[in-house]
Structure 1
Amino acid sequence: MRLTKGITGFDAEHLIEQEMRSFQSMVYHLVTSEPRSKLLQFMDDPRAVYMQADIQLDNEQLTILHHRLMPYVAFAMSDKELTFRFLTKPNLHKYFPMRKCLEAEVLNSLLTRDKELHSLSDVEWHYAAYYKSETLGDVMFNYWD
């Protein structure tokens, strides 16, 4: 997968911000359609490059991430330090129409693999190095400030 300029939230003037209401609507549809599921919370911290929903689904706490500037959705489990362990949940893709649901294999790919394909700006490369981002997921769903 090729990372485009602005995906980190820096140098993103050319990108259009995704709507939180639209994300909320998709998550509500998921939790009302899936048995044994419930919404735990939404988080929308403007310092993060993603919007987040935590849900309970079949005895599993799941984090759903929606990129703030791109129509990308990822599924993860998170710890208290906001470190994400990305998951592949193809059965949930149907709840996020017109969004690309990213697979764990892609998000866990090393940033240095196919580095020449990425079109990140110098500022973005600087922050990726500064925050020791190693994977595509680290760069795409960051909490850099």
Structure 2
Amino acid sequence: MRLTKGISGFDAEHLIEQDMRTFQSMVYHLVTSEQRAKALQFIDQPHFVYMQAVIQLEDERLTILHHRLMPYIAFAKFDEELSFQFLTKTHLHKYFPMRKCLTTDILNTLLTQDKDLHSLSEVEWTYISHFDSKTIGDVIFNYWD
């Protein structure tokens, strides 16, 4: 996967912010359609580059991440420490139309694997180095300050 300039939240003036209400609507559609599912919490912290929903799906607590500047969705194990263990939940992709649901394989890909393909800015590479980000998931769903 090629990382485009601004995906980290820096140098992102050219990107359009995604809508929290639309994300909430998609999550509510998921929990009303799936048996034994419940929305527990929505988290929208402006300094994070993603919006977040915490849901209970049967006996599993999940975090759904929606990138704030790109139409990307990811699923992760719920973790209050913000160190996500990404999951692939292909059966849930249908609830997020016009969004790319990223898989564990993509999110755990090392940045060095296709480094020449990425079009990140110098500022973004500086933050990647400073925060020791190793994977595509670390960059896309970061909470750098």
What's the TM-score, normalizing by structure 1?
0.99
Q: Secondary structure at the match of 2:85?
A: strand
Equivalent residue runs for 1:112-123 within 5 Å: 112-123=112-123
Query: Which residue of structure 2 lines up, in the alignment, with residue 72 of structure 1?
Result: 72
Given the alignment of the two structures, is residue 36 of structure 1 paired with residue 41 of structure 2, yes or no?
no
Shift of 1:80: 2.6
Query: Which residue of structure 1 lines up, in the alignment, with residue 127 of structure 2?
Result: 127
Query: Which residue of structure 2 lines up, in the alignment, with residue 22 of structure 1?
Result: 22
Q: Deviations over 1:41-62 (max 9, x none)?
A: 0000001000000000010000
Matched letter for residue 79 of structure 1: D
Q: Secondary structure at the match of 1:138?
A: helix
Q: Secondary structure at the match of 1:129?
A: helix
Query: Which residue of structure 2 lines up, in the alignment, with residue 48 of structure 1?
Result: 48
Q: Secondary structure at the match of 2:113?
A: coil
Query: Which residue of structure 2 lines up, in the alignment, with residue 109 of structure 1?
Result: 109
Given the alignment of the two structures, is residue 99 of structure 1 paired with residue 99 of structure 2, yes or no?
yes
Q: Secondary structure at the match of 1:120?
A: coil
Alpha carbons 2:54, 2:78 under 8 Å: kept: no
Structure 1 runs of 4+ with >4 Å offset: none
Q: Deviations over 1:75-133 (max 9, x none)?
A: 00132320000000000000000000000000000011110000000000000110110
Paired residue total = 145
Query: Which residue of structure 1 lines up, in the alignment, with residue 89 of structure 2?
Result: 89
Query: Which residue of structure 1 lines up, in the alignment, with residue 9 of structure 2?
Result: 9
* RMSD (Å), alpha carbons: 0.5
